[in-house]
Structure 1
């Protein structure tokens, strides 16, 4: 059946095919005060479409800014989210600032951030002139109180021209979780172009459409998020303004984001990993309508499963609350019809939200202290799943007294204590891995092919496929299969095969896998991957790559190896080096 067509706001054609409708939806962060509970709430028909011409995924019905960036009784504009409330985001922005500073800035470089919130990112730039642009007065005032110069306004072409007269041009213009919110995206990009200097870079970081499709993260879709970017659609948009993407890097935040580096055409050479990502998108058909129709079907099934789970627990007399009054939660609650009859209250640490009620569902929002003292709670629905690392570490008392978290992604389920403990350990290991210092002659890269393994679980156990003859990752040659056991504290590697292709999966425990690709100038690209029971992957390692692995979280790991040629003791195809030949790439660093 052909999808209904609407007008695309990017390429200005009637090629926008609707693929999912969530029904009537309130504004995601329009938290309701007690005295307004009986008044009707603003709502809109939340539908999403895919443009078959420019490939942009977008909201069909756009909510005006004044519905979610609203003035208080004094006339000041208010926004409900403060970036600094999350410690993980503080660390993330500090890493991002360091990366940009080292790669692109000199002593005289100036940095501008659009949607700078409470100044958390700009604070991380050392000895550089910075400027924030933030339309919400309440969070902008926090930034200015920290010494971050901030213009309280929307970033537009008109404002950019004023800034240029006053401040000149900038080496870096940054936007994190903001560009996807911009209604007049063309005015915004014209402003960006006018403020970039000759070597200027425009760096964005937004939830990545590929991750939304893969993880079924439908709660990333709400009123503020007008656009849902793939690299393909973003490239088409940038081309309209004389910009081009030259690099991209996947990030873990917000359930999977893409950090995108753009410049005026021809300023920087395109990286190999960008070309790899674009090829992957083409392979997955992300520039066609089919994946989006499949996504819509899976979302409907997910909704039904969550409703069945919550209803079943309530029928058993269980007490259920929510954790995290996030915008994502508004979508899940209203789409899945979860109201205050099913979920008693939601615990949230943001003072601005406390004492109010969730939009649409009217579930009251309370302080964490209320949740911590309420020992009769059986289950907490984890709406703020993108901050799960912090939450799992913070709420061990709830778990120890028999409480259980419920998650809705990727499948609605109750997380048992062993899952939570192992998940927290692995996530902590991942965090330490990405915080490691890299020796000067090694740079981060992405050159390995990876297949995500689907796990199928029932009351008998679970299984996951590893390698199929029709997998695109498989080159069709079989040599042998090996299983190796690695005890805690042991590092296998480094080793390199001259001809052999390795396919590796961790079937028990969890591994840190490190690969190094020799470069012509004597340096190395390094790729680090965490894989195992909680992150099932198959890694394809081509010839000529140094690689090794180490068990995580103090447990034995069982590793499955599939090679495209047999190993012969008298004619080995292997070179070996000490695990620390390239520096200490294994030990997590403190700090």
Structure 2
């Protein structure tokens, strides 16, 4: 499946895992801005930075990665990063359970924990109550400011090997390093792991969680794909990456966070049963066909047909003077809206609960973001739940606000 060429953009020429140049394009979603860059009203006249959102597949090792490069400073520093872990009860409960799980399995009382990609510090805050020491690291100055307001030791670094040396002077070696929904953001994942190795005690654990790409593909969703995500993780490519720096999988947990995530616990050692377990999971992925190019041809056909379906339904309701809205101003919302050509002329507004997003606009599509409560005032209103991973929760909430609301399947 070949796409049009974007000659003015900088491409990755090698596999981020095995360095092979044998890369082939598997998915092209067109031009997109950064998914977590919500626009202030005063900045509406400024042009959005836009880059091709395209995935490459390594024919040698099956790694899946973003084809085109973007600047991490543009992703996290030059604009206020908007997503906060404390945004919803669902998210708060997930990270509270995560901290409880760490305490149950590792007895944190005498442990030093480093959290990479700590966001607003929610998880570090929960862990601080249990551990000897917690150091939180994030690439966004705004998020570090929020974390420090929770009285956390929070520092602003884009995590890599060089910056791990600076962090080491602050923290020393860690018993546990955690990195949730950030390892897949690294421009150089092997360098990221080298930094982890530099900070981890010989008997320490590295625990990281991110969207599980098999789940994304199996549900035919594509909106977890955006510029902030560089690598798209399966058990096979997690194993291969870790092996590059001598880390090994101890255990894998799968959960429904972000619509389907995998949590990996790894260390410098591995038992025979742990190795056997990961082999069976890799075989399961291979049986699903996700390492075959034909799979992605069919996948692309599906999402384009669904695009036509969505636009037909939206046009139907717009002609009948309905307010057509989106619910949930997340990063994946922007991939969904941009790919499906759903701009401010088709979607009246998007609702969200975050005070950091209400009053702003979506990038590229320029749709205003409003409080959920506004839907109460409309008699003819139909919505697309864009935060589909918590669709049941949101649907129940919206019906309580407006019993007459209708729903469009994303």
Query: TM-score normalised to the size of structure 2?
Result: 0.91
Instruction: Check if 1:255 corresponds to 2:259.
Output: yes
> Aligned-pair distance for 1:395?
1.9
Structure 2: unaligned runs, 5 residues or longer? 6-11
Checking the alignment, whether the CA contact within 8 Å between 1:6 and 1:18 is kept in structure 2 is: no
Which of these two proteins has the greater Rg computed from alpha carbons?
Answer: 1
Distance 1:96 1:304, change over 3 A: same
Matched residue of 1:201: which SS?
Answer: strand
Checking the alignment, whether the CA contact within 8 Å between 2:181 and 2:209 is kept in structure 1 is: yes
Among 64, 79, 82, the residue aligned to 1:80: 82
Task: List per-residue Cα deviations over 1:134-179 (Å, max 9, x = no partner).
Answer: 1212222221221221111112212222333343211211111111
Instruction: Check if 1:96 corresponds to 2:98.
Output: yes
> Aligned-pair distance for 1:206?
0.6
In 2, Cα distance between equivalents of 1:140 and 1:319: 38
> Aligned-pair distance for 1:2?
7.8
1:202-221 matched pairs, under 5 angstroms: 202-221=206-225
Matched residue of 1:270: which SS?
Answer: helix
> Aligned-pair distance for 1:268?
8.9
In 2, Cα distance between equivalents of 1:172 and 1:398: 44
In 2, Cα distance between equivalents of 1:182 and 1:28: 16
1:416-455 matched pairs, under 5 angstroms: none
> Aligned-pair distance for 1:106?
5.2
User: Over aligned residue pairs, what C-alpha RMSD do you find?
Assistant: 2.2
What's the counterpart of residue 375 of structure 1? Answer: 378
Task: List per-residue Cα deviations over 1:495-541 (Å, max 9, x = no partner).
Answer: xxxxxxxxxxxxxxxxxxxxxxxxxxxxxxxxxxxxxxxxxxxxxxx
Distance 1:376 1:263, change over 3 A: same
> Aligned-pair distance for 1:8?
2.1
What's the counterpart of residue 423 of structure 1? Answer: none
Among 52, 77, 81, the residue aligned to 1:70: 77
Among 372, 377, 399, the residue aligned to 1:396: 399
Instruction: Check if 1:230 corresponds to 2:252.
Output: no
Higher RCO (C-alpha 8 Å, min separation 6): 2
Among 105, 110, 113, the residue aligned to 2:112: 110
Checking the alignment, whether the CA contact within 8 Å between 1:52 and 1:289 is kept in structure 2 is: no
> Aligned-pair distance for 1:109?
1.4
1:143-154 matched pairs, under 5 angstroms: 143-154=147-158
Distance 1:377 1:26, change over 3 A: farther
Distance 1:284 1:78, change over 3 A: same
Distance 1:320 1:281, change over 3 A: same
Among 276, 295, 298, the residue aligned to 2:299: 295
Q: Which structure is higher in strand share?
A: 1
> Aligned-pair distance for 1:237?
1.0
Checking the alignment, whether the CA contact within 8 Å between 2:17 and 2:240 is kept in structure 1 is: no
Instruction: Check if 1:27 corresponds to 2:31.
Output: no
1:299-338 matched pairs, under 5 angstroms: 299-338=303-342
Q: Which structure is higher in helix share?
A: 2
Query: TM-score normalised to the size of structure 1?
Result: 0.64
What's the counterpart of residue 519 of structure 1? Answer: none
Distance 1:283 1:121, change over 3 A: same
Distance 1:185 1:132, change over 3 A: same
Distance 1:168 1:262, change over 3 A: same
In 2, Cα distance between equivalents of 1:290 and 1:239: 28
> Aligned-pair distance for 1:238?
1.0
In 2, Cα distance between equivalents of 1:56 and 1:301: 27
> Aligned-pair distance for 1:316?
2.8
What's the counterpart of residue 572 of structure 1? Answer: none
Distance 1:271 1:377, change over 3 A: farther
Task: List per-residue Cα deviations over 1:58-77 (Å, max 9, x = no partner).
Answer: 11012212223234xxxxx6
In 1, Cα distance between equivalents of 2:293 and 2:163: 37
What's the counterpart of residue 407 of structure 2? Answer: 405
Among 360, 366, 372, the residue aligned to 2:370: 366
Matched residue of 1:130: which SS?
Answer: strand
Structure 1: unaligned runs, 5 residues or longer? 72-76, 409-591
> Aligned-pair distance for 1:55?
1.5
What's the counterpart of residue 53 of structure 1? Answer: 60
In 2, Cα distance between equivalents of 1:103 and 1:133: 23
